[in-house]
Amino acid sequence: MAAEVCYDAPQGLPDATMMLVAVQRLATIPEAKDREEAFLTLLKLVDGVLGAPEDPKKRRVKKGNATFQQKVGRFAAGIDFLKAAGFVDSDDPEAEGEEGKDALLSMPVAYLLRLTDAHHTLARAAQEVGITPPPMPGGGFNPYVA
């Protein structure tokens, strides 16, 4: 079953300024390597959804994943950014009992306007701290471009 994709203004998400606040906090991560990994991983997650918004696998992250924890999950600002971009805490249907409770960050609706803003917000902040961000993913349908 395809996940919901929306081209309208986001409904029920935190204010978009929360993304900016989160990236400003990410920019203060003391270790350059940790800061770069956090920015690039967040860009990879956001761009993964932008590149294939209908793919539910691109719209979920296991919070307990060791790589995710090392690169983003250990920074509250990283989690705050993902939530402002449209991810929410959710249960993992593949995990048993309490182990699956709130074990995922998932995106029930991919608001493409918010995800585009998320990419640009991250990319701009990354450049300000000397990180070269990847380009915006292409190939998706954009109803605002002829």
As a whole number of angstroms, the distance between CA 92 and CA 43 comes to 23
pLDDT exceeds cutoff 80 at 84: yes
Per-residue pLDDT at 144: 54
CB distance 88 to 106 below 8 Å: yes
Q: Which two tokens stand for residue 63?
A: 């919070």
pTM here is: 0.89
Q: Residue 1: its pLDDT value, please?
A: 44
Q: What digits encode the pLDDT tens for the residues 97-118?
A: 777 788 899 999 999 999 999 9
Task: Please give the mean pLDDT across all residues of the chain.
Answer: 91
What is each CA distance from 131 to 13, 30, 72, 115, 124, in whole angstroms? 28, 14, 16, 20, 9
Task: Name every residue whose Cβ is closer than 8 Å to that of residue 104 and which is 6 or more positions away in sequence.
Answer: 60, 61, 62, 63, 89, 90, 91, 92
What integer pLDDT is reported at residue 141 of this predicted model? Answer: 53
